[in-house]
Amino acid sequence: MVRLMFVDRRVSPRLERLLIVTHMHVAGAIHADVAAPSPQWLTEPDDLNALDPALWSRTVARTGEGSLEVGGVDVRTAVEREGSPVYLFDEDDFRARAREFARAFTGWDVYYAGKAMLTRTVARIISEEGLDLDVCSGGELTVALAGGMDPARIGMHGNNKTPEELELALCSGVGRIIVDSLDEIGRIEELCREGGWRAKVMVRVTPGVEAHTHEYIATAHEDQKFGFSIANGQAMVAMVRCHYSPCIELLGVHSHIGSQIFDTGGFEIAARRTIKLMGQFADATGVHLPQLDLGGGFGIAYTSADSPATPEHLAAGLREIVEHEANVYSMAVPRMSVEPGRAIAGPSTMAVYTVGTVKVVDLDGGAQRVYVSVDGGMSDNIRPALYAAEYSGVLANRASDESGVLCRVVGKHCEGGDILVRDVFLPGDIVPGDLIAVPGMGAYSREMASNYNHALRPPVVRVSRGALHPMIRRETMDDLMSLDVGD
């Protein structure tokens, strides 16, 4: 049993909650000794039928009959046509968020982080809205190219790119490869000599920033797998090697401090250390590198406790930080880029589930919780089980005048930690057959989905102007069995 002995009172209330939630038994949340009927931030809403606009895509509303609609389509209609569960992608909302980042960061390059959500349709929309795109695998690169993305506007990430993936990137002509190890640099050089290419690269560095997020999605501290450490000199070694390689054009430095970050504080330290590094490189080589990428990780609202920054606020803060640090080191401001993914895709998509069972469970002290089981679960959203991510949910097929009851929305899989919405107030008259909609499902839900328990992954359906357009179809048993080639 892992016991959280104390909470550091210097941390923010939000981080304090995160520490309490994430210090759990290795076997999962159900085995932890930290238990409470509900988190302190959760209170019963005055109106259970009301929708918090911070959580939902912009075309979501209640119909006159009380059901939810998105893009002019009633969720009941969507489920009747596409089945349940289903991801509903609000195209107008996605486009609007992409445009907001492009406007806010005018003069910077905005790379949409494809790992959040990527289909051929998404790649097409990103291209149409004038954003660039970053990918993390050969599969993502293949989808991006199939969606019509100009390879010159693609950046290729990954801490362990295979020779096949690097060859695809090089022969496709991607605009930049973000190198992550000396082994990778050698691999690129070998491929370039064989293929006659010259690779454009950025060196991913670890600036040593402890982002206030879950340890699995904090990526700039020293003890993790990404990048070259600035502190121990490996970043400079990699930069010098790339600079003097006849096969490589070194574009600049890349940094990423983590995910689901709500302010620009951590970026200040990252910018200071990366710009200082670029100044030291210029002193050593006489070359001023032209580009700096500060990554992404901008957060969204999953619950009413979250207060994410707007693109305008983020852009203003980052511009001020970069200009200040460049002045400190007497450098011209390099060509800057950022990589929003979740902040564009996350709020654009809801998941809709059908209730299968409703069960009342007694808690300590005489309290009770209602377990609402739905027809999805950790196979279509692993994030709550993986790092205690919090979500919200509402009754979607009708309105209700009943008082709220404390519920836990859980999936159908054979795991105690198969939780979709850990704590939420739902109407007391919720019954099997009702629909529950969960907002904020556009990022890292379908992308991280699995076939655990041989579940079939749900479809992604684009909703626009009153019409449904499948983006990824629902898997079938034939799909599943086609991979099983045994006797």
What is the pLDDT, as a whole number, of residue 264?
Answer: 86
Question: Residue 215: pLDDT above 50?
Answer: no
Active-site amino acid positions: 414
Parallel/antiparallel/unpaired status of strands 368-374 and 404-410: parallel
Q: Could you give the C-alpha distances from 107 to 187, 253, 333, 338, in angstroms and in order?
A: 33, 18, 12, 11
pLDDT tens digits, 332-361? 999 999 999 999 999 999 999 999 999 999
Lowest-confidence region among 59-68, 215-224, 457-466: 215-224
Label residue 210 by pLDDT band (50, 70, 90). low
Annotate 33-67 with b (16+ C-beta within 10 A) or e (fewer): eeeeebeeebeeeeebeebeebbbbbbbebeeeeb
What is the structure's pLDDT at 77? 98
Average pLDDT value for residue range 196-223:
71
Q: Using one digit for the tens of pLDDT, what is the confidence trace for 461-487? A: 999 999 999 999 999 999 999 999 987
| pLDDT band at residue 60 under the 50/70/90 scheme | very high
Instruction: With H, G, I as helix, E, B as strand and everything else as coil, classify residue 140.
Output: helix
pLDDT in tens, 68-123: 999 999 999 999 999 999 999 999 999 999 999 999 999 999 999 999 999 999 99
How far is CA 152 from each of CA 142, 155, 254, 260, 363, rounded to the nearest angstrom?
A: 14, 8, 17, 28, 57
What are 108's two structure tokens?
């910077």
Structure-block tokens of residue 61: 């509303």
What's the confidence (pLDDT) of residue 364?
84
Write the pLDDT tens digit of every residue in 381-394. Answer: 999 999 899 999 99
Q: Which residues are annotated as a binding site?
A: 297, 339-342, 383, 387, 415, 444
Q: Which residue has the tokens 């909609």?
A: 437
**In the chain, which residues fall in CATH 3.20.20.10?**
157-339
Beta bridge partners of 464: 467
Q: Where in the chain is the domain with CATH 2.40.37.10?
A: 36-89+347-467
Of 15 and 450, more confident: 450
Residue positions forming the annotated binding site for substrate? 342, 383, 387, 415, 444
Which alpha helices (DSSP H) does 336-393 contain, by range?
A: 342-345, 383-387
The answer on pLDDT for 399 being more than 50 is yes
How large is the average pLDDT for residues 392-406? 96
Asked if 291 contacts 222 with a C-beta cutoff of 8 angstroms, the reply is: no
Reported as a single tens digit per residue, the pLDDT across 226-274 is 899 999 999 999 999 999 999 999 999 999 988 888 888 888 889 999 9
Note the pLDDT of residue 25: 41
Q: How confident is the model at residue 16 (pLDDT cuts 50, 70, 90)?
A: very low
Instruction: Kindly report the average pLDDT of the chain as a whole number.
Output: 90
Q: What is the pLDDT of residues 120-163, one digit of tens each?
A: 999 999 999 999 999 999 999 999 999 999 999 999 999 999 99
Q: Which CATH number fits domain 157-339: 3.10.28.10, 3.40.50.300, 3.20.20.10, 3.40.50.12160?
A: 3.20.20.10
| Domain with residues 36-89+347-467, CATH architecture | Beta Barrel (2.40)
The CA distance from 236 to 345, in Å, is 35
Q: Taking a C-beta distance cutoff of 8 angstroms, is the pair 207, 269 a contact?
A: yes
pLDDT of residue 258: 84
Long-range contacts, 321-327 (Cβ 8 Å, 24+): 321/264, 321/267, 321/268, 321/271, 322/271, 322/275, 322/292, 322/294, 325/268, 325/271, 325/272, 325/275, 325/276, 326/275
Helix (H, G, I), strand (E, B) or coil at 269: helix
Segment among 215-219, 314-318, 402-406 with least mean pLDDT: 215-219
